[in-house]
Amino acid sequence: MINRQWLLASRPEGSIEDTNFSYKECEVPNRELKPNEILVKNLLFLCAPTMRNWMSPPGNSLYPSIPLGSPIMAPAIAVVIESASAEYAPGDRVSTRAGWQDYEILSTDLVPVGKIPDEMTSVDAMGKFGLNSLTGYFGMLEVGQPKENDVVVVSGAAGATGSVAAQIARIKGCRVIGIAGGDQKCRWLTEECQLDAAVNYKNATVEEELRQLCPDGINVYYDNVGGDILQAAIENMAVKGRIVLCGQISSYNDDKPSEGPRNMMRLIYGSITMQGFLTRNYTDNFPSAISNLKTWYEQGKVLFKEDVREGFENLPLFYRALFDGSNDGVLLVQINSD
Ligand SMILES: NC(=O)c1ccc[n+]([C@@H]2O[C@H](COP(=O)([O-])OP(=O)(O)OC[C@H]3O[C@@H](n4cnc5c(N)ncnc54)[C@H](OP(=O)(O)O)[C@@H]3O)[C@@H](O)[C@H]2O)c1
């Protein structure tokens, strides 16, 4: 059996290029497993914007940067082929962090591994009820703490994380405005997700649009983007507003971390809080969050968009869709069938 791999050939400078990746075929790992190791076959990868940070030189990322010549690291769904762990048996499907390759040995002591219930498809486990939806859930509810009638603004609102955060704020009785790139995405937000308004940041002066849409200010701003859009929201925050820092995708392709807001006095005068968070801070509460998301989904209160693509060979090409906005919801790549 052949193990296909996509390796990090060079560190991207600016946008990701084909030359940053190299394709290799090698043998499937074939050694005796150590205690708590599992041999898995990867089935499905999540394309996560922050993987771009993992490709950068060491220094500014939560995870160690991917070593040159190693498989690209990504959130994955895999099936256990062999196990030296009492917790996982051959045939179990697991959610984990793996390399862009077909087969690998994972140490369950070193990487997060969670079993997927039999009744849940791999796409649902990584999509509707996966990391991005949970991010929107905890970021909005735990950090944003939206209250009825609050004015809530979400950037990256048509994306995997943002669309869930925005719809949860709507369920909580808030007036919700999404910011997204393109009229089609904005129409989806207002017509199907039933947000109150949407701003196409590619055609509008966001700061001015927000001023008109939120004359009394923004109570909760959920930020996936950073940069100028974060600044536009800061200029429009209401007193005691809350800013949820979820992501900074507008700067992931930059050589240096994006600068913070230009006008911190706005935060002081407005007694505004700005708080970052990581979804993994809330792992103990994942089961109840998934149960709530399922209920809302079955009641038609939350829509999820899953952009499922196929083909190991196209991983580097597909991944780039996150940065030109051509992904249509949570971006998943199926590389082997379940
Ligand atoms: N804190 C956490 O634990 C955590 C966990 C997961 C994700 N995140 C963050 O959440 C954010 C969204 O991630 P996701 O996986 O849900 O991706 P996503 O929103 O489904 O896809 C990325 C979207 O970002 C937008 N975008 C790309 N470049 C941009 C730019 N320069 N300016 C403005 N918008 C841009 C594009 O939408 P448009 O067409 O609207 O431009 C694109 O479709 C990311 O910042 C990610 O790092 C954080």
DSSP string, 187-207: HIIIIIS--SEEEETTTS-HH
- Cβ of 247 below 6 Å from ligand 1: yes
The CATH superfamily of 131-280 is NAD(P)-binding Rossmann-like Domain (3.40.50.720)
Query: How far is the C-alpha of 297 from the C-alpha of 304, rounded, in Å?
Result: 8
Q: Indicate the DSSP class of residue 261.
A: -
| Banded pLDDT at 259 (limits 50, 70, 90) | confident
For 35-56, write each residue's pLDDT tens digit: 999 999 999 999 999 999 999 9
Question: What are the residue boundaries of the structural domains of the chain, listed by start?
Answer: 2-127+305-334, 131-280
Using most ligand atoms within 8 A of CB, pick from 188, 307, 322, 332 the residue to mutate for ligand 1: 322
pLDDT at 308 (0 to 100): 98
Amino acid in the structure at residue 97: R
In tens, the pLDDT along 207-245 reads 999 999 999 999 999 999 999 999 999 999 999 999 999
Tell whether the model's pLDDT for residue 256 goes beyond 80.
no
Going by the DSSP 8-state scheme, the letter that residue 120 receives in this structure is S
| 7 Cα: distance to centroid of ligand 1 (angstroms) | 23
- What is the Å distance from ligand 1's center to 247 Cα? 7
For ligand 1, say whether the CB of 278 is within 6 Å of any of its atoms: yes
Q: Is 325 in the pocket of ligand 1 (CB under 6 A)?
A: yes
pLDDT above 80: residue 200 = yes
Q: Which amino acid is at 227?
A: G
pLDDT at 60 over 90: no
| Token pair for 328 | 């249509």
* Residue 332 β-bridge partners: 46, 308
Structure tokens given for 43: 């089935």
Separation of 212 CA from ligand 1 center, angstroms? 25
pLDDT at 260 over 90: no
Q: Which of 112, 50, 34, 128 is nearest to 76 (CA)?
A: 112
Q: To the nearest whole number, what is the mean pLDDT of the chain?
A: 96
Stretch 128-140: mean pLDDT: 98
| Tokens representing residue 324 in the block | 């030109």
Is the CB of 180 inside a 6 Å radius of any atom of ligand 1? yes
CATH 3.30.2010.30 fits 2-127+305-334, yes or no: no
Q: How far apart are CA 328 and CA 133, in angstroms?
A: 14
Tokens of 316: 């580097």
pLDDT for 1 equals: 85
CA distance 235 to 199: 16
Query: Do 2-127+305-334 and 131-280 have matching folds?
Result: no
